[in-house]
Amino acid sequence: LVLILDYGSQYTHLITRRIRSLSVFSLCISGTSPLKSITELNPSVVILSGGPHSVHTPESPSFPAGFVEWADSNGVFVLGICYGLQLIVQRLGGEVKIGEKQEYGRMEIEVEKACGFFGSKKVGHKQVVWMSHGDEVAMLPDGFQVVARSQQGLVAAVENPLRKFYGLQYHPEVTHTPEGMETLRYFLFDVCGLTAGWKMENVLDEEIKVIRGSVGLDEHVICALSGGVDSTVAATLVHKAIGDRLHCVFVDNGLLRYKERERVIETFERDLHLPVTCIDAVDQFISKLKGVTDPEIKRKIIGKEFICVFDAFAQDIEHKLGTKPAYLVQGTLYPDVIESCPPPGSGRTHSHTIKSHHNVGGLPKDMKLKLIEPLKLLFKDEVRQLGRILNVPEAFLKRHPFPGPGLAVRVLGDVTQGNSLDVLRQADEIFIQSIKDAGLYDLIWQAFVVFLPVRTVGVQGDQRTHSHVVALRAVTSEDGMTADWYYFDHKFLIDVSQKICNNVRGVNRVVQDITSKPPSTIEWE
Ligand code: XMP
């Protein structure tokens, strides 16, 4: 295991992904985790991430007391990246000073000493890297050597092979460092001696083992299916592990897309042979959301109602089978976990929750069902790979993500205002169908329409209208953690705008969201 200690860099999750793409399992936890949480995981390599802090600030986050001694005595390799390097230098007796020359963006570095990081690259080899630091290493701790410097003469890479401590001032994980992947590969395989062996097949076997180990032979499990990639793959996996002791439920909460309920139930039974019970809970959800405008409160209400529905479903099963299901399967992904529980002290979110994803932060504390979240450590593209191994049809795997709180986070403000949900459903269907017709669906990570709670003046059929605005949102992304807005051609946008205004009563204006994530998020709430 390669363990990444997160100090709040916006690139931390990328390090995790890059290492996994080299077929080595990696996990990311808060950089201020107690020593026990680190040692329990028994990593052979620990990477200290970058972060927005300066080691000179008293409250800047650091690894726990005893970490260095533990690494030294267990022969654990430690690599510091950017802030992580500065932490190592400062904590091991070197000096980091506030930089006279700052380095942000593209920089050239030159290898000064042949070393494991650079494989067979000779002294004098130059490469372009991505830097992002204000502080600089002024004096190395005893036993450390500089192995590369930047064009400004600043320390760019260091090593202490005897103690197995290494450091890079630049970010090898970003694509702006073209030789970065090679450097990580050399480091993990040549320097640390790891072998590539982590495959989705192993994840599958491991998860099945874990599920069989925790769910007793007479215990039953329920699974909330949304029809999306994550819950579908999670259900298929759990079904493989425990067979018909899995009971799937699909909840119509009134916040679904156009004809979603019919489409999901039909395809599940036809393509996946998973029996699904459909529960109509439209009134239950909508009545609880009446008048609620705060996005976080909406999310919490929805999370709570879902659990009430699942509890009731579990009771029904108990009546039928005489035994109450003890577990609930959820398709929670790693980014959901990271975003709902940012690492303490990480500057990324200043310990603030960005959004309570309803299947993570929004769960009530008194929930009786225990959770099975077999995808909790995976990124979306990894879930798709797993789905392929499980023979989940491509049509499921390629579906755009749809958030747990559904259209509630796409009708801004009160979802019960007028016929907002119906308007949104119709406009969204036109947009998505147009994207499919244009052959763009698979090029886009996620596309949807947002209903804005404002009215604007328009003129339709020579009549003044005072109707709603909808926004088109389409983004490309690798994992939902960062995203770019998708650039449609004019003709496409003209057609969609016309179709929506001509076919959806109550809409007289269509706008497009042209913001990336960050600074925005993908969903508007
Ligand atoms: P944001 O809006 O946070 O979304 O940039 C990132 C990805 O997560 C989806 N999303 C959710 N998924 N429960 C989910 O299962 C939620 O509460 C939730 N909120 C957002 C979003 O659609 C995007 O793909």
Residue 436 C-alpha from the chain's centroid:
25
Residue 136 annotated as catalytic: no
Q: How far is the CA of 523 from the centre of ligand 1 (A)?
A: 7
Q: How far is the CA of 135 from the centre of ligand 1 (A)?
A: 35
Structure tokens belonging to residue 24: 């080595």
User: Stretch 227-253: mean pLDDT, rounded?
Assistant: 95
Q: How confident is the model at residue 347 (pLDDT cuts 50, 70, 90)?
A: very low
287-298: pLDDT as tens digits: 999 999 999 999
Q: Cα(351)–Cα(357) distance, rounded to whole angstroms? A: 16
pLDDT reading at 207 higher than 50: yes
Q: How far is the CA of 403 from the centre of ligand 1 (A)?
A: 5
Q: Cα(223)–Cα(330) distance, rounded to whole angstroms? A: 7
pLDDT reading at 401 higher than 80: yes
pLDDT at position 514 = 97
Q: Cα(427)–Cα(451) distance, rounded to whole angstroms? A: 9
Quote the mean pLDDT of the chain: 92
pLDDT at position 337 = 73
User: Stretch 424-444: mean pLDDT, rounded?
Assistant: 98
pLDDT at position 368 = 78
Q: Cα(122)–Cα(110) distance, rounded to whole angstroms? A: 10
Q: What is the dihedral of CA 238, 241, 244, 250, to 10 degrees?
A: 0
pLDDT at position 497 = 98
396-399 contacts, C-beta under 8 A, 24 or more apart: 396/229, 396/232, 396/267, 396/271, 396/272, 397/229, 397/233, 398/441, 398/442, 399/227, 399/228, 399/229
Q: What b-and-e string marks burial along 484-522, b requiring 16 or more CB atoms within 10 Å of the CB?
A: ebbebeeeeeeebbebbbeebebbbbbeebeeebeeeeb
Answer with the residue of higher pLDDT: 395 or 501.
Answer: 501
Place of tokens 């309920």: 261
Pairing of strands 446-460, 463-476: antiparallel
CA distances from 178 to 117, 127, 148, 184, 221 (A): 14, 8, 16, 12, 47
Residue 173 annotated as catalytic: yes
The one catalytic residue in 133, 171, 220, 358 is 171
Q: Which atom of ligand 1 is nearest to the CA of 358?
A: 17
In three state form, how does the secondary structure of 288-347 look? Answer: HHCCCCCHHHHHHHHHHHHHHHHHHHHHHHHHHHCCCCCEEECCCCHHHHHHHCCCCCCC
CA-closest candidate to residue 31, choices 19, 45, 47, 18: 47
Q: Say whether pTM exceeds 0.90.
A: no
pLDDT at position 348 = 44
Predicted complex ipTM exceeds 0.85: yes
pLDDT at position 349 = 36
| Number of alpha carbons in the 13 Å side-chain half-sphere of residue 349 | 18
pLDDT reading at 88 higher than 90: yes
Q: Which of 229, 523, 525 to mutate to test the pocket of ligand 1 (most atoms within 8 A of CB)?
A: 523
Lowest mean pLDDT among 33-42, 74-83, 265-274, 296-305: 265-274
pLDDT reading at 163 higher than 80: yes
pLDDT at position 399 = 94
Q: Cα(165)–Cα(68) distance, rounded to whole angstroms? A: 10
pLDDT at position 351 = 34
Domains and CATH numbers, the chain: 2-191 (3.40.50.880), 200-397 (3.40.50.620), 417-512 (3.30.300.10)
Does residue 522 line the site of ligand 1, with CB under 6 A? yes
Q: Is the peptide bond before 178 cis (omega within 30 degrees of 0)?
A: no
pLDDT at position 352 = 46
User: Stretch 414-436: mean pLDDT, rounded?
Assistant: 97
Q: Which of 348, 521, 522, 525 to mutate to test the pocket of ligand 1 (most atoms within 8 A of CB)?
A: 522
| Number of alpha carbons in the 13 Å side-chain half-sphere of residue 85 | 29
pLDDT reading at 350 higher than 60: no
